[in-house]
A and B are shown apart, each in its own frame.
Chain A
Amino acid sequence: MVIPLEGLEYHPSGSSADPHDGPQTVSKSAPFWVRVRKSHWTTRLTALAAFLVVWWFLTTPWAWNGDKPIMLPLYLPSIPSVWNAFIRANTIHPIAEGVDREVVGEYGYYLWQHLLATLQRIGIGLFFAIVVGLPLGLLMASVKIISVSVEPYINFLRSLPPLGYIGLLIVWFGIDNTSKIWLLFLAAFPPITIATIAGVSGIKEDQIHAAQSLGASRLQVVSSVTVPAIAPDLITGIRVALGFAWTTVVAAELNNGIPGIGGLAYLSGTELKTPLTITCIIVIGITAIALDSIIKAMERVLTPWRGKA
């Protein structure tokens, strides 16, 4: 899916050169994914190729090693076996070689269904994290009593490893989706609250004064000045929160986590299906990077003034 960002992006024609553009400036009318310097892509592709070569070298049987690979498949499966695991997870296939019974993907779901289930949980968790974290941050930034009393609890929550309290959440909210979403929400809302507080404290006092002198009510100050002023910090907070949600997702899907890509990664590991585990890890990593890139692109579209004013 490609979001048509081209044209939405703001290109100030009168301003000086974008500081992110290095010496190899690509045309300003080019979409942002082209504007990433070409040399970066060559560097990245070279690094990927080198990585794959090392992987291939370690997992290929060698005559000088007694026809065995340097690393046994249980520890590091070969590239083709990971590819096969990826294909199996996406197709209807025989349950085992020479058996007639056919099954769907892995554990009854295609890989994309596992991924989608996880994305839904993360999406709902992140949604509530924003809905709760943003107003809480605004409240904490403006009402001293709330900030003094709530802040220790947020720091307490932040320092807890999610694995430590998923059991408690299961007891409270059951073993189905609710406890998983709660865990993702609890992991994601502190960075959003903290980013909001940082954003509010970074607002120049005179920007508030200016609005008040123009006749703004308290609510109008919040909607016209505070919220847009913290938007860049808020977007950064959401990026951090999404990262935390991803690192929490395996803990969330540890119990009854199928369908779910985190649960699949964990379960396949416990059953020594290392090729499938590695497939899951790769899919999780690529999805996380893709989502992060989307937020970064949104940041450019929504807050073009960042770093300029």
Chain B
Amino acid sequence: MSRDKSLVVDGVRQFFGPKNSRVQALSRTDLVIEPGQFVCLAGPSGCGKTTLLRLIAGFIKPSEGQITVSGSEIFGPGPDRGVVFQSPTLYPWMDVASNVELGLKFQGVSKDQRRADSERYLQMVGLTDFAHRRTYELSGGMQQRCQIARVLASDPEFILMDEPFGALDALTRERLQNELLDIWRKTGKTILFITHSVDEAVFLGSRVLVMSPRPGKILFDEPAIFSKPGESIAAEEIRSLPAFLELRERVRSSIQHSH
């Protein structure tokens, strides 16, 4: 059964601050992410979408409820859930290739195997020529590519992405969106992708969620597949499909009515 490998958010609520003046960041949330899904979570700034991602990543413990992966509750971060951060958290004391190999190194993979894997993933994200550069020599877009390669190389079940393209210029962002879609189709990874861009959510996601702010609550959840696996439609074509435009409009109005 496919549910076996799914990620389940079960009755999770999250509060911040001291007991007497605590703020509810996330109201009771239930969510099941099936293997292979590309779930895009859209919502305005401060709606709690990053909180939900950090809960799933295990960086914070839920105030109530539990999160399970393949049926067992998570306690803290783990290599089954790779994270691509909003601002790249590459390590400047390592070169690009060593950053990509890091997860494998932690798992005790041999050096030769690590080199081979990092070469493969660096090629996938188009950074082959930069393998031996320092990370701070890369542009913002290249740093995000490197982060993605690092997460892919450590081969997690789930990839959690927190507005990874938010700080990039429009052209770079579109190129990375297309690359990410390609990677998803090739690898079949399960992705949770957070964004404040409606267009990005609808374009990338195989399923689109919308979250309302204060306290965060998921109020929209629909499938959104505009290209079947195996066929590659040009990005411009997808963006001009009537179904795409119609869903984008409904997601937009759902966000507008949420607050």
Contacts and interface: CB of A to CB of B under 8 A. Distances in A.
Interface of A: 10, 12, 14-15, 204, 206-207, 209-217, 220, 224-225, 228-229, 231, 303-305, 308-309
Interface residues of B, number: 31
Nearest to B139: A14
A73 B57 CA distance: 75
B143 to A, nearest CB: 10
A210 B154 CA distance: 12
B103 A215 contact: yes
B134 A214 contact: no
Contact of A213 (B83, B105, B107, B135): B83
A245 B103 CA distance: 41
Interface string B223-237: 000000000000000
19 contacts: A206-B87, A207-B91, A209-B57, A212-B58, A213-B58, A213-B81, A213-B83, A213-B156, A214-B79, A214-B103, A214-B150, A214-B154, A224-B91, A224-B105, A228-B93, A229-B93, A303-B93, A304-B134, A305-B92
A32 B162 CA distance: 41
Interface string B76-94: 1111011101010111110
A305 B136 contact: yes
Given A213-B77, A213-B79, A213-B81, A207 B89 contact: yes
B5 to A, nearest CB: 18
Contacts of A15: 136-137
A36 B58 CA distance: 48
Given A15-B137, A213-B82, A215-B79, A228 B91 contact: yes
A213 B134 contact: no
A308 B106 contact: no
A15 B136 CA distance: 8
B57 A14 contact: no
B89 A210 contact: yes
Contacts of A211: 102, 106
Contact of A206 (B81, B85, B92): B85
Given A15-B136, A207-B89, A215-B79, 4 more contacts: A209-B57, A213-B81, A213-B151, A214-B82
Contacts of B137: 12, 14-15
A215 B76 contact: no
Contacts of B151: 213-214
Interface in B83-135: 83, 85, 87, 89-93, 102-103, 105-107, 133-135
Nearest to A13: B137
Given A228-B91, A303-B93, A210 B134 contact: no
A128 B119 CA distance: 42
B59 interface: yes
B85 to A, nearest CB: 5
Contacts of B76: 212
Contacts of A10: 134
A225 B90 CA distance: 10
A305 B102 CA distance: 18
Interface centre among B93, B102, B151 (most CB of A within 10 A): B93
Given A206-B85, A213-B82, A215-B107, A225 B91 contact: yes
Contacts of A207: 89, 91
Contacts of A217: 106
A113 to B, nearest CB: 40
Interface in B68-82: 76-79, 81-82
Contacts of A206: 85, 87, 89
Contacts of B82: 213-214
Contacts of A213: 57-58, 77-79, 81-83, 151, 156
